[in-house]
Amino acid sequence: MTAQKSPIIEIRNVSKRFGKVTAVDNVSLDILAGEFFVLLGPSGCGKTTLLRMIAGFEMPTEGQILIDGQDMAHVPPNRRPVNMVFQSYAVFPHMSVADNVAYGLKIAGVGRSEREERVREALELVKLGGFEDRMPDQMSGGQRQRVALARSLVMRPKVLLLDEPLSALDAKLRAQMQFELADLQDQVGITFVTVTHDQDEALSMACRIAVMNKGDVAQLATPSDLYEYPANRFVADFVGSVNLFEGKLTLDEPDKAAVDCPGVGKIYLNHGVTGPHGADVWVALRPEKIYLHVPGAGKAVQAAGQDAPEGHNFARGRITGMSYLGDITLFDITLDDGATIRVSRPNLSRHDQEDFEWNDRVSMHWRADSPVVLLS
Amino acid sequence: MAEQHWKENPKGFWAVSATPLLWTLLFFLVPMSFVWLYSFGSNVGLTEIEISGTLDNYKRATEWLYVSIFLKSLAVAALVTVICLVVGFPVAMALTFASEKWRPWLLLGIMLPFWTNLLIRTYALMMLLGTQGYANKTLGWLWDGASWLKVFFGMQPLPTWEPVQLLYNNFAVVLGLVYVHLPFMVLPLYSALDRLDKSLIEASLDLGAGHLRTLMKVVMPLAMPGVIAGVMITLIPALGAYLTPDLMGGTDSQMIANVIERQFKRANDWPFGAALSFVLIYAMFILIALQSLRKPRRGEAK
């Protein structure tokens, strides 16, 4: 990615209230020129409101939005250098594909020959070459979305806004479009700002993701940082699946830390967490970072002992739930100490799923760099 | 539920449709066919009509006197329809974009006149428009105010206010018909606009269009079925309007329905009245046929 460092959109202390409901609560963030930025969050978290404020369909109650250095406070949507792809695509049903794509160019006063050239180019770009004369009702949902994309891209906006662009597509097409959108963004070099509630979509497409919760930005980070270094329980839980354990910080030094989690055991980390000693904290542990072992052989204890002091980073329990998903198998394991823990295990060979059965006793361990300590 | 052809369930079909079919047959088609037969007859006594198959009544209906009244009725109805459309469209837009809290009340305001008798509504409007009515009083008050202002600035006062004749002329007929028919225009327009995906409007704005262009290029074309429906159910009843021109019109503002009424009542010429009625009905049939011939464009809300 060739993300330049200068911000194209600056959101400064923006709040939006609808009556007594606060949809966006004092958000400040910069979106960099040329990046693929994703606003991720559950429904009602304010992400769509924020996007609509960038487009100009909603005005901030407080705060300021700058696009390319210009304050947008008094700029109506039809004069902003941004274009939007709507969740329903909003392709004009009474116009052909070519007329749809040419709509904005006609208004901008682009001459006929240049207009036709640019429409053709835009349609090529979204792989709809030759569809010029089709009417929208003769097209599939995926094709209509491409029309909406072409209609926006043909305007060469500084920023393209996409509101849940893939939510109406079926799973296969969605996966394909995730790649295509990322490719397209790379190709045209326009800044994309996408709103989604789908974490897979966000992780696969974004340069950076802002996770929103209750009108606030819970964390702004790259996809891998978001997943591996969540800042709080909300992000850890919303992005991917996670085991969260409550515990007390018993050791916190620059190069090591330990948390005593009732119901699970002692968890050791090979780095410091800079939390107050004895504080109540939460430990997040991803299911795929836990290794399962057949008990009795002492393998779990041995493996855990490689990077943690004795008695840390392993647990024993009984399989109380199993769900075979093809590529992986999910296990719910009730620990001897009472807690339930979820483990995912890749089915690396065709017989892997036969190793463990319902009600089997198992032991497990994890590496000292896997757990994440969360203070909030 | 999938659509079912009536032949798959004939018993159910007849159970549901027998009553309305019988009703239509007995109270609409049978009397109408009598009227239709009368239109080919002639008066032989005070109450006797001989159905002789003569076309004299239709020949008389094509005399310029009647054709001119017919054309004038059509012109008045068309003008009323256009005014209703121009006034009704913004009203329908306002209804569509009103907040959830307000919309039911605004709709109630549109529907309320339906619950009041047409005669009472018309008389109420007449009271408003009379020479001693509020419209004239307000105008007179404004006139006096303007006169006072002129004196205040040291100019000659205006001549004394003479009430304007707002009733018993063509203006009153058009105004009255617009007043009566406006809800018929607003409701189909509202239903068409309400079905319109609002993000289409936002998309148009987003692509750089102003509000006027969005209205003309996106909203209007997609609301066309509502416009056509509104035009039809305003034009047809306005063409056959009877009460409003009778009460609010002057001697020169009678419409075709008033002429028909006179044939049946005062002139006691049922055969000619019947012929005129059927000319009017045929004209309406043609209007409806023209509308159904129009090919619906793609993408319109069905």
Quickly list DSSP for B180-243: HHHHHHHHHHHHHHHHS-HHHHHHHHHTT--HHHHIIIIIHHHTHHHHHHHHHHHHHHHHT--H
Q: Is the pLDDT of residue B5 over 60?
A: yes
When pLDDT is cut at 50, 70 and 90, the band that residue B115 belongs to is confident
From the list B209, B218, B222, the residue facing A78 with the nearest CB is B209
Q: What is the pLDDT of residue B234?
A: 94
Q: What percent of chain B has pLDDT over 90?
A: 51
Window 67-106 of A: residues touching B by CB (8 A cutoff) are 76-79, 82-84, 86-88, 90, 92-95, 103-104
The answer to which of B188-197, B230-239, B246-255 has the lowest mean pLDDT is B246-255
The whole-angstrom distance between A135's CA and the closest CA on chain B is 8
What are the structure tokens assigned to A195, written together? Answer: 């709103």
From the list B205, B206, B299, the residue facing A94 with the nearest CB is B299
What are the structure tokens assigned to A71, written together? Answer: 């304050």
Q: In 10 A of CB B40, how many CB atoms?
A: 19
The residue with tokens 């394991």 is A333
Domains by residue range for chain A, with CATH: 7-237 (3.40.50.300), 241-374 (2.40.50.100)
Backbone dihedral region for residue A293 (phi beyond 0: left; psi -120 to 50: alpha; all else: beta) = beta
From the list B206, B221, B297, the residue facing A84 with the nearest CB is B206
Tell me the pLDDT of chain B averaged across its residues.
88
When pLDDT is cut at 50, 70 and 90, the band that residue B301 belongs to is very low
Q: What is the pLDDT of residue B302?
A: 40
- What integer is the mean pLDDT of B261-272? 88
Q: Which amino acid is at B190?
A: Y
The answer to which of A137-151, B5-19, B246-260 has the lowest mean pLDDT is B5-19
The β-bridge relationship of strands A208-213 and A36-40 is parallel
Q: What percent of chain B has pLDDT over 70?
A: 96
Residue of A nearest to B200 (CA): A90
Which is more confident, B105 or B49? B105
Chain B positions touching A93 (Cβ under 8 A) are: 200, 222, 298-300
ipTM for the assembly: 0.82
Q: Mark yes or no for CB contact A84/B203 under 8 Å.
A: yes
Q: Mark yes or no for CB contact B218/A92 under 8 Å.
A: yes
The whole-angstrom distance between B291's CA and the closest CA on chain A is 19
Q: What is the pLDDT of residue B3?
A: 66
Half-sphere CA count of A280, side-chain side, radius 13 A? 3
Window 9-48 of B: residues touching A by CB (8 A cutoff) are none
CB A362 within 8 A of CB A295: yes
pLDDT digits (tens, 9 = 90+) for B73-94: 999 999 999 999 999 999 999 9
pLDDT digits (tens, 9 = 90+) for A91-133: 999 999 999 999 999 999 999 999 999 999 999 988 899 999 9
Q: Does B120 touch chain A (CB under 8 A)?
A: no
Q: Does B100 touch chain A (CB under 8 A)?
A: no
pLDDT digits (tens, 9 = 90+) for B141-196: 999 899 889 888 888 888 888 888 888 999 999 999 999 999 999 999 999 999 99
CA-wise closest residue to A161 among A57, A74, A14, A18: A57
Q: What percent of chain A has pLDDT over 90?
A: 60
What are the structure tokens assigned to B4, written together? Answer: 């079912």
The whole-angstrom distance between A79's CA and the closest CA on chain B is 6
Q: What is the pLDDT of residue B295?
A: 67
Q: Mark yes or no for CB contact A151/B298 under 8 Å.
A: no
Report how many Cβ contacts below 8 Å link chain A to chain B: 73
From the list B197, B200, B213, the residue facing A107 with the nearest CB is B213
Q: Does A136 touch chain B (CB under 8 A)?
A: yes
Q: Does B209 touch chain A (CB under 8 A)?
A: yes
Q: How far is Cα A95 from Cα A63, in angstroms, rounded to an integer?
A: 39
Q: Mark yes or no for CB contact B300/A94 under 8 Å.
A: yes
Q: What is the pLDDT of residue A232?
A: 92
H helix intervals, chain A: 47-55, 97-107, 112-125, 141-153, 171-188, 199-205, 223-228, 233-238, 299-305
Q: Does A18 touch chain B (CB under 8 A)?
A: no
Window 289-348 of A: residues touching B by CB (8 A cutoff) are none
Instruction: Indicate the DSSP class of residue B28.
Output: I
Q: What is the pLDDT of residue A44?
A: 87
Q: In 10 A of CB B128, how many CB atoms?
A: 15
CB B89 within 8 A of CB B189: yes
**Cross-strand pairs, A62:** A15
Which of B198, B207, B295 should be substituted to probe chain A, the one whose Cβ sees the most A Cβ atoms within 10 Å? Answer: B207
Chain B positions touching A88 (Cβ under 8 A) are: 197, 199
Q: Which amino acid is at B58?
A: Y
pLDDT digits (tens, 9 = 90+) for A167-220: 878 888 888 888 888 888 888 889 999 999 988 889 988 999 999 999 999 999
**Is residue A218 helix, strand or coil?**
strand
Q: Find the farthest-apart pair of alpha carbons in chain A and give their distance in angstroms, rounded.
A: 79
Q: In 10 A of CB A288, how many CB atoms?
A: 16
Q: What is the pLDDT of residue B297?
A: 57
Q: How far is Cα A50 from Cα A82, in angstroms, rounded to an integer?
A: 14
Q: Mark yes or no for CB contact B208/A108 under 8 Å.
A: yes
Q: Is the pLDDT of residue B1 over 60?
A: no
Chain B positions touching A79 (Cβ under 8 A) are: 208
Half-sphere CA count of A235, side-chain side, radius 13 A? 30
Q: Mark yes or no for CB contact A94/B206 under 8 Å.
A: no
Q: Does B212 touch chain A (CB under 8 A)?
A: no
pLDDT digits (tens, 9 = 90+) for A12-24: 999 999 988 999 9
End-to-end CA distance of chain A: give it in Å, rounded: 32
- What integer is the mean pLDDT of A135-153? 92
CB B269 within 8 A of CB B208: no
Q: How far is Cα A246 from Cα A223, in angstroms, rounded to an integer?
A: 25
What are the structure tokens assigned to A206, written together? Answer: 């974004």
Q: Is the pLDDT of residue B29 over 50?
A: yes
Q: In 10 A of CB B255, how many CB atoms?
A: 25
When pLDDT is cut at 50, 70 and 90, the band that residue A3 belongs to is very low
Q: Which amino acid is at B16?
A: V
